């Protein structure tokens, strides 16, 4: 598999980096658990970055690169669903785009609000535009996304001629690509802190026990990135399930370490670490969590018993 980026992909990422640069500095005070920026959302839509998946010359592989890069920003954006899932449904589908499983309601749904397009994954794929009566806002939720609870599904929904298994494949790719960016940003934040923080007259990052665990986190994070990019390139259901599984397993393994390495600062909102790790906490439960994605990978590779 060729791991090098095409000239078009390099151009897209260069343009995206220029657009995102003003948003890279994480605010250190008063951010709460979720940080969003309507200006960033407008710039992404206006620049066409969320539409690269519609371009046959760029495709979902480039959309995965865009999603991973955007996830590194402290601001949460709805880019993953729009860039990776929406190409299946058509550009007439509105945003924000929210994903739910038909048999798992009453769970926090990212970016859900009145007027959002809710895509329902069941045996078939349907969607509807949420009304105020179907949505319960959750302003106190301890996640790095704005979330709400979907209270009910309307009987009248739009049917999409999309295979439900294919939708879940794209959803898993979106989950893995976003997780890769979140893990990379969280790790970079922790490395910066432990390099600057002095203890016993030397930087925390110079202690061997901590270095080993940071190295393991880096290896795991790299694995999430490459599995996500492979799945985005192949669109293979097994690749997607394995990428989502490894992303969720890695989040489980390293988020605790990241906050522990920060010491007392890791338990406050004065450092931006939570803006990435608390998003990972919510992603870790999607599509059945580790168990659901492990079962999906096994069934895809070896068939159901």
Work out the number of other CB atoms within 10 angstroms of the CB of residue 241. Answer: 27
Does the pLDDT of residue 254 top 70, yes or no?
yes
**E strands, the chain, in order:** 97-101, 108-110, 117-121, 125-129, 135-137, 147-150, 158-160, 198-199, 202-203
Residue 12 covered by a domain? no
Across 129-144, average pLDDT: 92
pTM for this predicted structure: 0.93
Cis previous bond, 96, omega within 30: yes
Report how far residue 283's alpha carbon sits from residue 221's, in angstroms, rounded to the nearest whole number: 15
Residue 272 covered by a domain? yes
Residue 187 covered by a domain? yes
Mean pLDDT lowest among 58-72, 178-192, 260-274: 260-274
Residue 150 covered by a domain? no
Report how far residue 130's alpha carbon sits from residue 113's, in angstroms, rounded to the nearest whole number: 7
Helices 59-71 and 7-20, packing angle to 10 deg: 30
- Which residues have CB under 8 Å from 195's CB, separation 6+? 203, 204, 205
Environment class of 67 (CB within 10 Å of its CB; exposed 0-12, middle 13-18, buried 19+): buried
Residue 52 covered by a domain? no
Residue 242 covered by a domain? yes
pLDDT of res. 91 = 84
Closest CA to 125 of 154, 166, 181, 67: 166
Closest CA to 238 of 246, 69, 280: 246
Across 202-218, average pLDDT: 77
pLDDT tens digits for range 100-119? 998 887 789 999 999 999 99
Across 123-151, average pLDDT: 93
| More confident position, 196 or 229 | 229
What percentage of the chain has pLDDT greater than the value 70? 92
Residue 295 covered by a domain? yes
pLDDT of res. 142 = 87
User: In total, how many domains does the chain have?
Assistant: 1
Q: Identify the band that residue 246 occupies on the pLDDT scale cut at 50, 70 and 90.
A: very high
Q: Identify the band that residue 52 occupies on the pLDDT scale cut at 50, 70 and 90.
A: very high
Across 214-238, average pLDDT: 95
Residue 298 covered by a domain? yes
What percentage of the chain has pLDDT greater than the value 90? 70
Mean pLDDT taken over the chain: 90
- Do residues 23 and 73 touch, judged by C-beta distance below 8 A? yes
Domain that holds residue 192: 164-302
Q: Please report, for the domain that includes residue 208, its CATH number.
A: 1.20.140.10
């Amino acid at each position: 598999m060729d791991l090098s980026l095409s000239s078009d992909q390099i151009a897209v990422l260069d343009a995206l980096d220029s657009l995102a640069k003003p948003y890279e500095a994480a605010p250190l005070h008063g951010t709460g658990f979720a940080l969003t920026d309507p200006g960033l959302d407008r710039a992404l839509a206006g620049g066409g970055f969320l539409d690269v998946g519609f371009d046959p010359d760029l495709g979902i592989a480039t959309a995965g690169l865009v999603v991973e890069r955007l996830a590194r920003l402290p601001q949460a954006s709805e880019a993953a669903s729009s860039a990776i899932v929406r190409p299946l449904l058509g550009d007439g589908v509105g945003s924000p785009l929210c994903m739910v499983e038909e048999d798992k309601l009453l769970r926090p749904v990212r970016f859900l609000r009145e007027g959002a397009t809710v895509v329902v994954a069941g045996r078939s794929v349907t969607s509807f535009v949420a009304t105020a009566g179907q949505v319960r806002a959750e302003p106190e939720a301890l996640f790095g996304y704005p979330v709400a609870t979907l209270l009910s599904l309307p009987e009248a929904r739009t049917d999409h001629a999309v295979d439900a298994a294919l939708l879940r494949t794209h959803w898993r790719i979106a989950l893995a690509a976003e997780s890769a960016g979140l893990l990379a940003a969280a790790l970079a934040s922790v490395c910066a802190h432990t390099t600057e923080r002095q203890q016993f007259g030397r930087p925390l990052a110079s202690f061997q026990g901590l270095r080993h665990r940071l190295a393991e986190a880096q290896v795991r994070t790299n694995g999430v990135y490459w599995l996500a990019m492979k799945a985005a390139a192949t669109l293979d259901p097994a690749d997607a399930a394995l990428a989502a599984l490894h992303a969720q397993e890695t989040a489980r393994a390293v988020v605790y370490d990241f906050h522990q390495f920060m010491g007392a600062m890791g338990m406050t909102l004065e450092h931006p670490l939570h803006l990435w790790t608390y998003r990972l906490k919510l992603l870790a439960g999607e599509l059945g969590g580790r168990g659901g994605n492990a079962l999906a990978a096994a069934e895809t590779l070896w068939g159901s018993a």
